[in-house]
Amino acid sequence: GAEGAAARAAATLRQLVRNRLLRGELTDAVSDSEAFGCGARTLWFEVTVPVGAPRLLLIPMVEALAAKVVVRETDGIDSAAIIDAAKGATRPSVQTAGVNFAAVGGWMGAGAGLDEELRAMVDLNHVTSNDIYAILRFYGVEAARAAIVSEIRSVFQVYGIAVDPRHLSLIADYMTHEGGYKPLNRTGMEACGSPLLKMSFETTTHFMTQSAIMGDRDTLTSPSASIVVGKRVRCGTGAFELRAQLPPLERLVPLDAPEVLPTEVLPKGVLPTGVLPTRATAGGPQL
């Protein structure tokens, strides 16, 4: 707690002063006392030395000590920095080196010893990280998928490149569709069952050699394998067969049949439903 941290700081400072005095051969001329005001978050430390003792510059000593004293720490967090509110944001953010989602939820909960004002400053609904695996373990695969899309989008936004969100979703879906998180590189492709798909990604010769040695077979069900052999991809409009029911042959009009004009009298320029205007030529009527 705060009392323990203050006590450790006072003890360290006393030891530093004693070491300086011992080097000046003043072994028995030191008396010290300390008082702590934990409620006001203050520390008072008093050292009494003889008049003839060497001069000590306490300010550099205190500054060096303060930089080493840990008042409060969270497992997994090495450091933290306050980032000013970005464009369009209403409040600043805290960027940490390290991730500990469980600790954030714990010390922001009721009974954690924080006042309501401090608790209201942190919005747990907007806590995020670029550690995809940490998000996967704490929040689940859907949150990991959303984080992948967000991180890829932020990389392209720096360069002013607009990417269709559907492309980013396709990448995130591939990386998380097994319920885990796998990389989108040649290492992640090793577990793919389609040799042609692996060859179309990277290191074609490597994957071709491995497939030949292992006697792998390709069922041509993946989009990349289908494209390699010129086969229709079985997704989108290619995922089903569409057949139109044609009328019987006796109802079809031959192409060389004479033009049939409507018998009813209609106003000029108006034709009945299903009849198109025609013009006569030497080769027969044309639309």
Structural domains of the chain, count: 3
Angle in degrees, CA 84, 85, 86, rounded to 5: 110
Asked whether the beta carbons of 18 and 47 are under 8 A apart, the reply is no
Same-domain pairing of 55 and 99: no
Domain boundary (238, 253, 274) is at 238
In order along its 287 residues, the chain shows pLDDT tens digits of: 556 666 676 677 677 666 665 555 444 444 444 444 445 456 666 677 777 777 777 788 778 877 887 777 788 888 888 888 777 677 788 888 988 888 777 766 655 555 566 667 777 778 889 999 999 999 999 999 999 999 999 999 989 998 898 999 989 998 898 898 888 888 888 878 889 988 888 888 998 998 999 999 998 888 888 998 898 888 888 888 877 777 776 665 565 656 555 555 555 555 555 444 544 444 444 44
Are 61 and 110 contained in the same domain? no
Q: What six digits make up the tokens of 284?
A: 């027969």
CA-closest candidate to residue 169, choices 190, 186, 148: 148
Domain that residue 216 falls in:
193-238
Q: Which of 104, 127, 150 is the last residue of a domain?
A: 127
- Please indicate, yes or no, if residue 21 is contained in any of the structural domains: yes
- Is the same domain home to 100 and 60? no
Same domain, 6 and 60: yes
Q: What is the pTM of this model?
A: 0.55
What CATH number does residue 214 fall under?
A: 1.10.150.390
Residue of 166, 230, 161, 220 lying closest to 196 (CA atoms): 220
Domain-ending residue, one of 66, 84, 104: 66
The verdict on residue 134 lying in a domain is no
In a domain, 106, yes or no: yes
